[in-house]
Amino acid sequence: MARRGISILKGIEAQEVINLLNRAYCDEWLAYYQYFVEAKVVKGIMKDAAIVELNQHAADELRHATMLSGRILQLGGTPILHPDEWLKYANCKYEAPKNFDVRAILDQAISGEQCAIGTYSNLLELVRDKDIVTYDLVSQILADEVEHEEDLQSLFDDIETFMAQFKV
């Protein structure tokens, strides 16, 4: 445990930051799996474009889990060890895909990103001016989540526009 590194926290306990990071860590694993499995089952118009985006996002969410676990360890904590805990501690729900249509899948993924954006915005407020390293790391993740929402929304809008051309 890096004592000097931890000593720079101001007005927040390392354990409190660890708990917040661990909750986000659970979200990232669930987000990773949701994208992973959505990319497998998605059907319908322009699904190839959706698969590329879903797989890219899966890789990003897994990278976020790596970033969070690194910071948890720096603070002297342990990343959540059992997948059973993921659903218990996650901030956002896990929505198993039911409708495999590309628009339904994208819609569900957009909601997931919106939840992630809310979660990380709150986390930033809690560590602002207290833990600058966590603040910086979470800011990077938040920027990715904002990009994810935009990528999915613009793909969704393109599909809607494309389909509208076939309506009388």
Of 9 and 57, CB closest to Fe ion:
57
Selected range binding Mg ion among 23-31, 35-43, 52-60, 116-124, rule: CB under 5 A: 52-60
CB nearer to Fe ion: pick between 150 and 160: 150
Helices (H) and strands (E) in the chain, counts: 6, 0
In the list Mg ion, Fe ion, none, the entry touching 149 (Cβ below 5 to 8 angstroms by class) is: none
Instruction: Considering only residues 45 through 84, tell me which ones interact with Fe ion, judged by CB under 5 A.
Output: 61, 64
Query: Residue 108 touches which of Fe ion, Mg ion, none (CB < 5 to 8 A by kind)?
Result: none
* Helix, strand, coil percentages in the chain from 3-state DSSP, rounded to 5: 75, 0, 25
In terms of CB distance, is 55 or 91 closer to Mg ion? 55
Residue 111 binds to Mg ion (criterion: CB under 5 A): no
Q: Of 56 and 114, which CB lies nearer to Mg ion in the complex structure? A: 56
Binding-site member from 18, 105, 148, 155 for Fe ion (CB under 5 A):
148
* CA dist., res. 100 & res. 85, Å (int): 27
Residue 136: other Cβ atoms inside 10 A = 12
User: Which structure tokens are listed for 8?
Assistant: 């720079």
Q: What angle do CA 71, 120, 74 make, to 5 degrees?
A: 5
Among 56, 91, 111, 153, binds Mg ion (CB under 5 A): 56
Judged by beta carbon, residue 15 or residue 122, the one nearer Fe ion is 122
N-terminal to C-terminal alpha carbon distance within the chain: 66
3-state class of 120 per DSSP?
helix
Q: Answer yes or no whether residue 95 interacts with Mg ion by CB under 5 A.
A: no
Instruction: Please state the closest distance from residue 53 (CB atom) to Mg ion, in A.
Output: 5
Q: State how far the Cα of 146 lies from the Cα of 138, in Å rounded to an integer.
A: 12
Residues that bind Mg ion (CB under 5 A): 56, 151
